[in-house]
Structures are given as C-alpha cells and as structure tokens.
Structure 1
Amino acid sequence: MLKGPDEIRRQIQYNERVRHAALLPSPMIERLVLQIIGGWSTLVEEVRFLRYNVANDPDGKEPHPNADNLHRNIRKLGLLANLRLPGDNVTAACQFVRQMRNDLAHMLYIDSITGDEPNRRLAFLRSGEMSYSGNGWVQHERKRVEVTEEDLRKALSEIKWLMDCCFAIRKVGWGISRYEEDEPIDFLHRLLPWWFEEWGDAACRGPLTLREIRAIRD
C-alpha cells in the first residue's frame, strides 16, 4: 500500500514510463511478440478500470471484459462519456489485435524466423482441435501460423491507439464538463487520437468545441 501523495506520484510516473517503453516496437521480433501479448492484457485492464469507474461501486467486483466484445465495451464507454468515437475504427483495431494476440497466446514453439528487419516473417505452431482417429488414438492438430513483422508492429500500434482512445474517454469525456458547449477549447485536439473530416483541416483549423466532440445519438 502506497503511503503518501509523493510516493503515489512517483509510482504513477514510473508506471507511465514503463508503459511508454512497452509500446515502442522492439527490434527483437521475439520481444515484439511479448509486447503484443502484454499490451492486449494492459488494454483489457484499462477498459476494466473505466467500467469500474462508471459503475461507481467500491464494494463490487468488475469482471474482466469479454475479449471478443472489447470494441463494444470501448464504444459504450465513449457513449456514456458523451464522446464521439470513430466506432468503426475502434472495432477494426480490436478485431485485428484480438486475432493476432489469440494466435500468439496459443503458441507452442517458434518454427522459423526468416528475412531481414523490418521485413521478417515469424512462423510458429499453435495448438488446434482434438479428434478421435477411430482406432483408439486421439489426434491433436498442430496449426502452423505465419505473421509478418509489419503486422506485428501494426498490432502494437493499434494497441497504443486504443489505449489513447481510453485515455481520451477518461480525460476528455469525463473531465471537461465545466465548459460551455460552444466554447472553443484549445487543448482538445492534442488529447483526441482521432479526427473527423467534417472538423476540417487539422493543421489550420481553430480550437474544437464540446458540441463538436459530443456523441451523435439516434
């Protein structure tokens, strides 16, 4: 248990440094695999943390989000925070990372690493289905999976983007309700990891307003 505000602040700063480093793609492809597995778990815990905050039940236990429905959880959190999210992008990112992480987490062993950085290919075997062969033996399938270094880096990048989305839900969706709907807020564009075309050219437009970033409801 942390004892005081200084110790809590130091722990928070340490956690942020470690998380930042964990989301920088390693030149070692084996370590990159571990970064994706750990990054997905970190993302799941971040969504769980946000859901616990929404529930506002100190004595309750927030279950781990179903990994297959993580995109729905993030989109729902955005809606609860009245923050407009690029929902299709969130769904696509979650599904891409989920499939990648699912294969990597069931890896049995690496078969080969071919090519040169940054265009290497990683081949590994993962467990598959079991079946009876009909003569008293049970067959356990070994599935060979190949992934490119480019896709591994993309998966880690998508994890970072999804975590940035969760940060925006917490900091923007919940943290700026004191502003008027049409009041320009000059720091909004720095906190949002997405941009909608109707907002104009990000390089030259003025500050966004709360009305522009609010969730669009049917």
Structure 2
Amino acid sequence: MTGDQHDDLDDFVEWTRRYRLKEQESFQPQGAIEQTVLNMIGAYENVVSRANWLCFHQAGPDGVADRERLVPALRRAIEAAGIEDWSIDAFATQFDKVNTARNRLAHMLWVDEVTGDWPNRSLRVVVRGKVGEPKGRGELEWFADGWSRKNTHTVQISEQELYRTLDRLWSLRNSLLKLGRAFSIAAENKARNEAV
C-alpha cells in the first residue's frame, strides 16, 4: 500500500467514523424541542432510506426495486430471500407509529408556540390542509362566490412523544441493520448451495 492509498484510507475511516457519530446523534433528543423535531424527521428519513436501499440491493443490478410502500416492499424482499427469523409484522407496527408522528409534522408551515418546561414541553405547529384530510386533499378550496382559500390547522406534539418516536426510530434502524445481515447470510447460503 502506498502512502497516498494509506492517506485515502485514513480519510475514509475518519469520514466513516464522523458519519456514524452524526447518524447516532440524529436519533437523540436535543436541548431545543424544535431541534428534536428536526432530528425526528431526519431519523425517519434515515430509516426509510435504509429500508429502500435494502430493497434496492436485494433486487440486484438487473432487478427492479419496488418503489411502492415501504413495508410491502420489505415483505417481498424478505420472502424472496427466504428469511424466516425476522418479523416484518413487528417492524410494520412500530413503523406505523413513527409514520403517524412524522406525518403530523411533515407539512409544517411554522412553529406557533412552545409551552411548558423541559422535559414536558409541548410544541404547537401550523400545518397545511384540513384536520384529518390526507396530504393534498382539503388544502386548497374554492367557494361558490368565487373566492378561494388555503386551509391550515394546528397540531400539538409533546416532548415525550418526540422522545418515544426517536426511540422507536433507533430500534427500527437497528432492526434494519440486523435484516441487512440476514440478507447477507441468506445470499452466502444460496451461493454455497448453488456451488454444491
């Protein structure tokens, strides 16, 4: 190994160390509740990105990765790999909970108010659309007399709910790491069986 290669390897190792540290920090509550919200949204995207990559990788270079809903895509990848000791149902239950929390804040326009004292603060935000309407529906509305409006409503989330969501996201992340290892073992076993 030349000196340049060693320097490149050292740079890569340092980058990887910093990346892992920043990733871990993104799953942790922060001092300001607004920063904890940003971490929760980032941690959610981290989990979704990791799951999408697992499905993409399992499809292989000639395959077509499912770009549909996350849980059905993972279920098919798990079935295709023949993995039986990883519970997609437990994952789906936890993912539904974090997805609900994330969706409550996904279309935030601004922070309206922070109330309470740490660790029992509450955050109220203004979001797009009507209460209970799916994304895109009920956001814009025409009236018979020719005027229109943009609908908004407020959502309240407690600091403790944010903490629970971050904990669930960390658990989902770790679960996906285990699934990645299970995919690797299944691929090795398949290759070994085909070689026999």
TM-score normalised per structure 2: 0.77
Match of 1:158 among 162, 168, 172: 168
1:173 Cα offset (Å): 4.3
Preserved contact between residue 109 and residue 124 of structure 1 (Cα < 8 Å): yes
What pairs with 1:56-95 in structure 2 (closer than 5 Å)? 56-57=60-61, 62=65, 65-66=67-68, 69-79=69-79, 80=81, 82-95=83-96
Give every structure 1 segment of 4 or more consecutive aligned residues whose post-TM-superposition deviation is greater than 6 Å.
Answer: 176-179
| Structure 1: segments with no counterpart, 5+ residues | 180-218
2:107 maps to a residue whose letter is H
Residues of 1 paired with 2:175 and 2:147: CA distance? 49
Cα RMSD (Å): 2.5
1:111 Cα offset (Å): 1.2
Residues of 1 paired with 2:82 and 2:38: CA distance? 32
Residues of 2 paired with 1:159 and 1:81: CA distance? 25
State the number of aligned residues.
173
Residues of 2 paired with 1:131 and 1:119: CA distance? 37
Give the corresponding residue for 1:39: 43
1:178 Cα offset (Å): 7.1
TM-score normalised per structure 1: 0.70
Q: Percent identity?
A: 23
Give the corresponding residue for 2:135: none
| Structure 2: segments with no counterpart, 5+ residues | 130-137, 190-196
Secondary structure in 2 aligned to 1:174? helix
The CA deviation string for residues 21-64 of structure 1, in whole angstroms up to 9 with x for no partner, is 11111131000110111111111211122122212207x7857x
Give the corresponding residue for 2:193: none
Give the corresponding residue for 1:206: none
1:7 Cα offset (Å): 3.2
Secondary structure in 2 aligned to 1:95? helix
Preserved contact between residue 75 and residue 85 of structure 1 (Cα < 8 Å): no
The CA deviation string for residues 116-140 of structure 1, in whole angstroms up to 9 with x for no partner, is 1111111111010221121111122
1:177 Cα offset (Å): 7.6
The CA deviation string for residues 7-29 of structure 1, in whole angstroms up to 9 with x for no partner, is 33332222111111111111310
